[in-house]
Amino acid sequence: MSSQPATNSSSNGVAAGHLGFEKPLLRIENEIVTLENEQRTTGRDMSVDIKAMRTRLTKMTKRLYSHLTAWETVQVARHPTRPLVPDYINYFVRDFCELHGDRYFGDDRAMLTGFGRIGPYKVMVIGHNKGKDTNERITCNFGCAHPEGYRKSLRMMKLAEKFNLPVVCLIDTQGAYPGIGAEERGISRAIAVNLMEMSRLRTQVVCVVIGEGGSGGALGIGVGDRVAMFEHSFYSVISPEGCAAILWRTSDERERAAESLKLTAKELKKLDIIDQYLPEPLGGAHRDPKAAARTLETYLVDSLRELRRFKIDTVLRKRYERIRNLGQFFESADAKTRAKAKAKAKAGGGDGSALARGRRTQPRLGRSPTTLAQ
Amino acid sequence: MVINGKAEVPAGLWEKCQACGAMVYRKEVEANLGVCPECGYHRRIDARTRIEQLTDPGSFEEFLADLSPTDPLKFKDRIPYRERIRAQQKKTGEHEAVVVGKAYIRGRPVILGVMNPAFIMASMGSVVGEKVTTAIERSTEENLPFVMVTSSGGARMQEGMVSLVQMAKTSAALARFDDSGGLYIVVATDPTTAGVAASFASLGDIILAEPAAMMGFAGPRVIKNTIRTELPEGFQTAEFMLEKGYVDRIVPRAKLGREIARVVDYCGK
């Protein structure tokens, strides 16, 4: 499923850079500006008042950001000044050497790829590029890749595999582009092949959702040994707008849809879809991109160090197990057996005979998928 | 059971073909495998009907028949997900949107999966992902060809990300099957779209498709709203996909068994 271009929240009458729910912050910031101006023009010392206001601002930001609703999270993840893949590359990827083209059709600028150094590691960096300003956004197609983007990323992954470089995937897209050309050039096949090849790529793969994780277009570079998300990013099977349009037949229900879809990092950690979420600076990554970059860099270096310790066959076996155990279902259609299994699982003594959930229980058919791995 | 558009065929003796508008005798359509005798339009058929048509009589041994969905997100919708599921189960007599098992097709043993468009448009949630994955693993273990008859509206929204990652799960199992030298045949039927198209439905060694089956990633309405122009005639059909190089052969329903057997023979398993 793909999403339609997102509308940013700047349309709700709030000053640029502020989201609708941030009105209280804007009010305090305005007051600080007024106080500072007054100090400058009158020469009176207002520093005590200003300091108090700043403390209030911090407190208020903390309060607002400690329990963002799902829809507010979506807005933060789409914030126009949120750091993008090229920003993170500038902050911590040294000697970045961009590589272009899929060798079949063209060079999709929605997908940014190249060699780089992160900490002590030489890596292949792959990420969506949404573009900073209007011109760049158009060139990059707002980060919505075509089939050639996915084929380009796959080409770079194969290159990394050949020369034993780990792969770092940074996800930030509304979704793969829904257009005629994309269908003609086999967008389904391009994404499917990426999923298949990433699952068996003989090098370490670390994926992080840094902003928007839009459906298949995100997953297309999202299969790896470690999958993480930034605290205020989101990852969803369909955009909240799209979901609302289908289920409630109006996009006005997007807030409810966002809530229902459990698309926040915290919810997805609970569902075992991701391994962990990375804390963001107070008030979101866009308020302190440098700090966000440090967090991301540390996470990547730590993950690579950990993964580099294992033999590649072990890495691949674990990767398969990780993917294999995604999902949950009842093994029996019989309501009584199910209720029993549930009660047992709740009591902590579940043997998983009827309720299989996530990675906690052994799969069925009297064998474990690991036997297949060898 | 022949599915007429969204609704099932009513119990009347005569009915209108939704493609050519001709009044056709219901029994004749059924005898013709759900294909309109006038215009050749391939109607959607449910999984059991498909299995009956495709496999040698009495050869189908189903596995994982009891697997049924949970509600991982406790999804809040106009109608709760649990109720939707229960209604679909009652309507179709199936626990979920795919049926998998071992079967013989013209004497050749295969592992067969058939998606059921009568069940929430055969959308893929955890159960579909698990059953397809298990079927692939069985094919690997038993060294048998895997035949998957696809039709799906995509990932099941009500299971959120849990459904999206089933794309990765099925594709990862196919990678292992591929490594083991297994033969994978896809039979794409109306409609094969979105999350299923962008995973196992596009990964066949051989991809067959029924005539005029809708095949594509993004929904036509989404594309139209994005690019704001009319879509070309025949866009996202099996014929379109053949022309663009994503389908090997278009095969009418009556010849599917024969064509599958032929491919199996060529690939030596």
pTM of the predicted model as reported, rounded to 2 decimal places:
0.91
Cα distance from A236 to chain B (closest Cα, Å)? 6
Query: Nearest 10 degrees: CA dihedral of B233, B238, B243, B245?
Result: 140
DSSP state of A358: T
Q: Nearest by CB to B69, from A185, A236, A329: name it.
A: A329
> Which part of chain B has CATH 3.90.226.10?
44-267
DSSP state of A210: E
Q: What is the Cα A46 distance to its own chain's centre? A: 43
Residues 76-135 of B with CB under 8 A from A: 76-78, 95, 125-127, 129-130, 133-134
Scanning every residue of chain B, which has its alpha carbon at the shortest distance from the alpha carbon of A319? B172
Mean pLDDT of chain A: 88
Contacts of A185 in chain B (CB under 8 A): 244
| Cβ(A257)–Cβ(A247) below 8 Å | yes
Q: Where are the domains of chain A?
A: 1-67, 76-324, 335-373
**Structural tokens at position A89:** 């590359």
Contacts of B63 in chain A (CB under 8 A): 365
DSSP-derived pairing of the beta strands A355-357 and B2-4: unpaired
| Cβ(A130)–Cβ(A111) below 8 Å | no
Provide the pLDDT confidence category of residue A340 given band limits of 50, 70 and 90.
low
Encode chain B (269 residues) as per-residue pLDDT tens digits: 677 554 455 567 888 998 999 999 999 999 999 999 999 999 999 999 999 999 999 999 999 999 999 999 999 888 899 999 999 999 999 999 999 999 999 999 999 999 999 999 999 999 999 999 999 999 999 999 999 999 999 999 999 999 999 999 999 999 999 999 999 999 999 999 999 999 999 999 999 999 999 999 998 988 998 889 899 999 999 999 999 999 999 999 999 999 999 999 999 75
Residue type, A355: L
DSSP-derived pairing of the beta strands B184-193 and B215-216: parallel
Q: Which pLDDT belongs to residue B2? A: 73
Which H, E and C letters describe chain B, residue by residue?
CEEECCEECCCCCEEECCCCCCEEEHHHHHHCCCECCCCCCECEECHHHHHHHHCCCCCCEEECCCCEECCCCCCCCCCCHHHHHHHHHHHHCCCCCEEEEEEEECCEEEEEEEECCCCHHHCECHHHHHHHHHHHHHHHHHCCCEEEEEEECCECHHHHHHHHHHHHHHHHHHHHHHHCCCCEEEEEEEEEEHHHHCCHHHCCCEEEECCCCEEECCCHHHHHHHHCCCCCCCCCEHHHHHHHCCCCEECCHHHHHHHHHHHHHHCCC
d(CA B240, CA B216): 10
* φ and ψ of B93, to 5 deg: 75, 15
Q: Measured between CB atoms, does A364 come within 8 Å of chain B?
A: yes
Q: Which pLDDT belongs to residue A373? A: 32
Q: Measured between CB atoms, does A330 come within 8 Å of chain B?
A: yes
Element holding A65 (H helix, E strand): helix A47-66
Q: Which pLDDT belongs to residue B139? A: 98
d(CA A188, CA A220): 10
| Cβ(B214)–Cβ(B237) below 8 Å | yes
**Structural tokens at position B10:** 């009513």
| Cβ(A267)–Cβ(A235) below 8 Å | no
Q: Which residue has the tokens 């160090």?
A: A305
Q: Which pLDDT belongs to residue A374? A: 28
B198:A261 CB<8 A: no
How many C-beta neighbours within 10 Å does residue A135 have? 9
Q: Measured between CB atoms, does A339 come within 8 Å of chain B?
A: no
d(CA B97, CA B35): 22
DSSP state of A165: -
pLDDT digit string, tens, across residues A185-210: 999 999 999 999 999 999 999 999 99
Q: What is the Cα B117 distance to its own chain's centre? A: 7
DSSP state of A363: -
B77:A327 CB<8 A: no
d(CA A108, CA A102): 8
Q: Measured between CB atoms, does A256 come within 8 Å of chain B?
A: yes
Mutate to test the interface with A, among B162, B228, B230, B231 (most CBs of A within 10 A): B162
* Helix, strand, coil in percent for chain A, rounding step 5: 50, 15, 35
d(CA B149, CA A278): 41
E strand intervals along chain A: 94-98, 111-118, 121-128, 167-173, 205-214, 226-230, 234-236, 276-278, 328-330, 355-357
A178:B199 CB<8 A: no
How many C-beta neighbours within 10 Å does residue B134 have? 21
Cα distance from A266 to chain B (closest Cα, Å)? 13
d(CA B171, CA B148): 13
**Structural tokens at position A176:** 């793969």
| Distance (Å) of CA B132 to CA A14, A264, A269, B171, B200 | 49, 28, 25, 10, 9
| Distance (Å) of CA A8 to CA A17, A75, A174, A259 | 10, 7, 12, 18
| Residue (of A234, A235, A233, A227) closest to A285 by Cα position | A233
Q: What ipTM was reported for this prediction?
A: 0.96
Superfamily of domain A76-324: 2-enoyl-CoA Hydratase; Chain A, domain 1 (3.90.226.10)
Q: Which pLDDT belongs to residue A260? A: 95
Contacts of B237 in chain A (CB under 8 A): none
**Structural tokens at position B248:** 């090997």
Scanning every residue of chain B, which has its alpha carbon at the shortest distance from the alpha carbon of A246? B157
DSSP assignment of A259-309: HHHT-BHHHHHHTTSSSEEE---TT-GGG-HHHHHHHHHHHHHHHHHHHHT
Question: Does the structural domain B44-267 have CATH classification 3.90.226.10?
Answer: yes
**Structural tokens at position B235:** 């866009």
d(CA A201, CA A158): 8
pLDDT digit string, tens, across residues A153-178: 999 999 999 999 999 999 999 999 99
| Distance (Å) of CA B15 to CA A294, A296, B42 | 67, 62, 15
d(CA A222, CA A70): 21
Any idea which of A283-297, A307-321, B219-233 has the lowest mean pLDDT? B219-233
Q: Which residue has the tokens 């949630």?
A: B125
pLDDT digit string, tens, across residues B131-189: 999 999 999 999 999 999 999 999 999 999 999 999 999 999 999 999 999 999 999 99
Residues 2-61 of B with CB under 8 A from A: none
Contacts of B217 in chain A (CB under 8 A): 2, 176, 178, 182-183, 187-188, 191, 216
Half-sphere exposure of A225 (CA within 13 A, CB side): 27
Calculate helix-pair angle for A70-77, A254-261, nearest 10 degrees: 100
Scanning every residue of chain A, which has its alpha carbon at the shortest distance from the alpha carbon of B64? A331
**CB-based burial, A19-46: b 16+ in 10 Å, e otherwise:** bebbeebeebbeebeebeeeeeeeeeeb
Q: Nearest by CB to B175, from A191, A199, A332: name it.
A: A199
Q: Classify the phi-psi angles of A117: left when phi > 0, otherwise alpha if psi is within -120 to 50, otherwise beta.
A: beta
